[in-house]
C-alpha cells in the first residue's frame, strides 16, 4: 500500500511525526512525505524534522509564502502533477492550513482516496482562514480521523455519514508524550535564565490579533499589563514581529519584562509550555498541549475549534478583554487557576489507530459497498 502524506506548515510536522513512525512499522506500507514548502525557514520547518525525527521529505513543492489564493493554487497545481505520477492508495492531509485543502482537492479530483487527520474541528468563525480550509477538506475527504467526539458531532450535523468518521484521538499528543522526556532534559527555561514556574509564555500569530494595528496594540497593552506580575517569554512568529516593528508598538511592553525570541523548535516550545506558570496564546496546538500538560492557558480568541480544551481542559477564552485577562491571571497566581483533565484518547496512541484505519479501511469499505 502506498500512502502519501502532504505537510506544509509547522503544526503539520508535529502531526506527521507519530504517523510516519507508526506507518514505518507496518509491513507492506510505503510512506512518501511531500513538503509543500509553505513554511521554509530553518526555524519554522527544518528544526521540526530534526527534533521530531521525521525522515527528510521525499519531495518539496517549494511554494513559499504568498496571498492565500496564490499559495493554495501553487500547491494545487504542483501536487496534482506529483500525485498523478505517484498514484497512491491514500493521500493523508493534516490540520487546517492552506496546503491541507489544496492537496485534498488535487487528490480527490484524480480519484485518489483522501484521509484527513484532525478532521471535524469547527470554530464557526468564518473570518478565520483555517475555518474554510477545515470545512472544504472534510467534505472532500473519504476518511475523517477525528481527535475528539465534538468533531464527530460537527461532521454529522453537516451531513457527513458516520461510516466516513473514525474517532482516533489527538495525534499532536502522541508527539508530546513521546518527546516530553527529551524536552524536559533540554530545559529550555533554565537555558534562557528564567525560573521554571516563574514566567508567562506568549505566542500570537493569528491574523485577527496581529495583522491590524488596533488589535495588535490591544493585545500588546494587555501583555504589558500582565508582564508586571510575571516576565513574558515570547517566541515570535515572523509576521507578528514584522507587524510590531511596522506599527511601532514595542513601547507597549517594558523591555525589561520581555524575553522576545525567534520561533522556537518543538522541544524548546514543549519545554517552555511545561514550565510556564501560564500560557497566553492564539495557537490551536498550544491550547491542546496546555490541556494535556495541565498548564493554565488563556486563549486570546473569542472562539475555539477545540472546545474540549475549555470544557474538560485548562483553557479559558479571554479574547482581548483586558479586565478579564487581568482577573484570570490573578486567579492563576493565587489559586493555580482552572483544573482540567486530559480528554478521551489523548493517550499517545492516536497514530497507531490512524495506521490501523488506513490499512484496513479500503477493504472494509469495498465489503460494505457490495454487501
Ligand atoms: C500558517 C497557517 C496557520 C498555522 C500557522 C503556524 C494557513 C492559512 N495558516 O499561518 O493555520 O497556525 O501556519 O505557524 O495556512 N514566514 C516566514 N518563514 C516561513 C514561513 C512564513 O518568515 O518559513 C512568514 C512570511 O512572511 C509569510 C508569513 O510568515 O508571509 C505567513 O506565513 P503563512 O504560511 O502564510 O501563514 P502563517 O501565518 O504561518
Average pLDDT over every residue of 349-363: 90
Asked if 136 and 105 count as a contact pair (C-beta separation under 8 A), the reply is yes
Whose alpha carbon is nearest atom 14 of ligand 1? 10
Q: Is the dihedral of CA 287, 300, 199, 262 positive or negative?
A: positive
Evaluate: CB of 129 within 6 angstroms of ligand 1. yes
The fourth-level CATH superfamily of domain 2-169+346-370 is Glycogen Phosphorylase B; (3.40.50.2000)
The reported pLDDT for the residue numbered 22 is 98
Nearest in space to 250 (alpha carbons), one of 230, 227, 228, 224: 224
- pLDDT tens-digit map of 79-99: 999 999 999 999 999 999 999
Q: Quick check: 70 pLDDT over 90?
A: yes
Cα 219 to ligand 1 centroid, rounded to whole Å: 19
Whose alpha carbon is nearest atom 18 of ligand 1? 41
Average pLDDT over every residue of 41-57: 95
Q: Which atom of ligand 1 is nearest to the CA of 285?
A: 12
- pLDDT tens-digit map of 261-282: 999 999 999 999 999 999 999 9
The reported pLDDT for the residue numbered 361 is 74
Whose alpha carbon is nearest atom 22 of ligand 1? 238
- Residues 6+ away with beta carbon under 8 Å from 140: 101, 104, 105, 108, 114
Average pLDDT over every residue of 184-211: 96
pLDDT band at 371 (very low <50, low <70, confident <90, very high): very low
Domains 2-169+346-370 and 177-335 share a fold: yes
Nearest in space to 305 (alpha carbons), one of 159, 147, 174: 147
Rounded distance, CA 308 to CA 287, Å? Answer: 10
CA distances from 281 to 96, 203, 221 (A): 18, 5, 15
The reported pLDDT for the residue numbered 157 is 98
Whose alpha carbon is nearest atom 31 of ligand 1? 239
Average pLDDT over the chain, rounded to whole? 96
Instruction: Among 6, 9, 72, say which to mutate for ligand 1: greatest number of ligand atoms within 8 Å of CB.
Output: 9
Q: Quick check: 290 pLDDT over 50?
A: yes
- pLDDT tens-digit map of 142-160: 999 999 999 999 999 999 9
Question: What's the whole-model pTM score?
Answer: 0.95
The reported pLDDT for the residue numbered 72 is 98
Evaluate: CB of 9 within 6 angstroms of ligand 1. yes
- pLDDT tens-digit map of 228-254: 999 999 999 999 999 999 999 999 999
Residue 277's SS3 state is: coil
Q: Quick check: 365 pLDDT over 90?
A: no
Whose alpha carbon is nearest atom 21 of ligand 1? 39
Cα 329 to ligand 1 centroid, rounded to whole Å: 29
Question: So where are the chain's domains?
Answer: 2-169+346-370, 177-335
Q: Which helix (H) or strand (E) holds 224?
A: helix 213-226
Q: Quick check: 369 pLDDT over 70?
A: no
Cα 226 to ligand 1 centroid, rounded to whole Å: 27
The reported pLDDT for the residue numbered 62 is 98
Residues carrying an active site annotation:
205
Asked if 233 and 272 count as a contact pair (C-beta separation under 8 A), the reply is yes
* Percent of the chain with pLDDT strictly greater than 90: 97
Q: Which atom of ligand 1 is nearest to the CA of 66?
A: 30
Cα 97 to ligand 1 centroid, rounded to whole Å: 9
Asked if 337 and 306 count as a contact pair (C-beta separation under 8 A), the reply is no
pLDDT band at 362 (very low <50, low <70, confident <90, very high): low
CA distances from 118 to 96, 149, 160, 177, 226 (A): 8, 11, 15, 17, 33
Q: Is the dihedral of CA 223, 226, 227, 233 positive or negative?
A: negative
Rounded distance, CA 149 to CA 198, Å? Answer: 35
The residue with cell 451531513 is 159
Q: Which atom of ligand 1 is nearest to the CA of 133?
A: 8
Whose alpha carbon is nearest atom 26 of ligand 1? 239
Residues 177-335, CATH architecture: 3-Layer(aba) Sandwich (3.40)
Evaluate: CB of 41 within 6 angstroms of ligand 1. yes
- Terminus-to-terminus CA distance in the chain, angstroms? 24
Cα 284 to ligand 1 centroid, rounded to whole Å: 14
Amino acid at each position: 500500500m502506498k500512502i502519501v502524506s502532504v505537510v506544509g506548515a509547522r503544526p503539520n510536522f508535529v502531526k506527521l511525526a507519530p504517523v510516519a513512525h507508526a506507518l514505518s512499522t507496518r509491513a507492506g506500507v510505503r510512506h512518501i512525505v511531500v513538503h509543500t514548502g509553505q513554511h521554509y525557514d530553518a526555524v519554522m520547518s527544518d528544526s521540526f524534522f530534526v527534533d521530531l525525527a521525521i525522515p527528510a521529505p521525499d519531495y518539496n513543492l517549494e511554494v513559499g509564502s504568498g496571498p492565500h489564493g496564490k499559495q493554495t493554487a501553487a500547491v494545487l497545481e504542483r501536487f496534482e502533477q506529483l500525485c498523478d505520477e505517484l498514484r497512491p492508495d491514500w493521500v493523508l492531509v493534516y490540520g487546517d492550513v492552506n496546503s491541507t485543502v489544496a492537496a485534498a482537492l488535487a487528490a480527490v479530483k484524480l480519484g485518489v482516496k483522501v484521509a484527513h487527520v484532525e478532521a471535524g474541528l469547527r470554530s464557526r468563525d468564518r473570518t478565520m482562514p483555517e475555518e474554510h480550509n477545515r470545512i472544504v477538506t472534510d467534505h472532500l475527504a473519504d476518511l475523517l480521523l477525528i481527535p475528539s467526539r465534538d468533531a464527530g458531532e460537527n461532521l454529522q450535523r453537516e451531513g457527513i455519514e458516520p461510516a466516513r468518521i473514525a474517532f482516533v484521538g489527538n495525534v499532536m499528543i502522541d508527539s508530546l508524550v513521546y518527546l516530553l522526556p527529551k524536552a524536559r532534559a533540554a530545559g529550555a527555561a533554565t537555558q534562557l535564565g528564567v525560573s521554571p514556574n516563574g514566567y508567562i509564555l506568549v505566542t500570537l500569530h493569528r491574523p485577527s490579533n496581529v495583522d491590524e494595528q488596533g488589535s495588535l496594540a490591544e493585545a500588546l497593552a494587555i501583555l504589558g499589563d500582565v508582564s508586571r506580575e510575571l516576565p513574558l517569554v515570547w517566541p515570535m512568529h515572523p509576521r507578528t514581529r514584522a507587524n510590531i516593528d511596522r506599527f511601532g508598538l514595542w513601547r507597549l511592553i517594558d523591555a525589561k519584562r520581555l524575553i522576545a525570541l525567534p520561533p522556537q523548535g518543538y522541544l524548546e516550545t514543549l519545554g517552555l509550555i511545561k514550565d510556564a506558570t501560564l500560557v497566553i496564546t492564539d495557537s490551536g496546538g498550544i491550547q491542546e498541549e496546555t490541556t494535556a500538560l495541565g498548564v493554565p492557558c488563556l486563549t486570546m480568541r473569542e472562539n475555539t475549534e477545540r472546545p474540549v480544551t475549555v470544557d474538560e481542559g485548562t483553557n479559558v477564552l479571554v479574547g482581548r478583554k483586558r479586565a478579564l485577562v487581568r482577573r484570570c491571571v490573578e486567579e492563576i497566581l493565587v489559586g493555580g487557576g482552572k483544573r482540567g483533565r486530559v480528554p478521551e484518547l489523548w493517550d499517545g496512541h492516536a497514530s497507531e489507530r490512524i495506521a490501523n484505519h488506513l490499512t484496513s479501511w479500503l477493504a472494509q469499505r469495498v465489503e460494505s459497498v457490495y454487501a
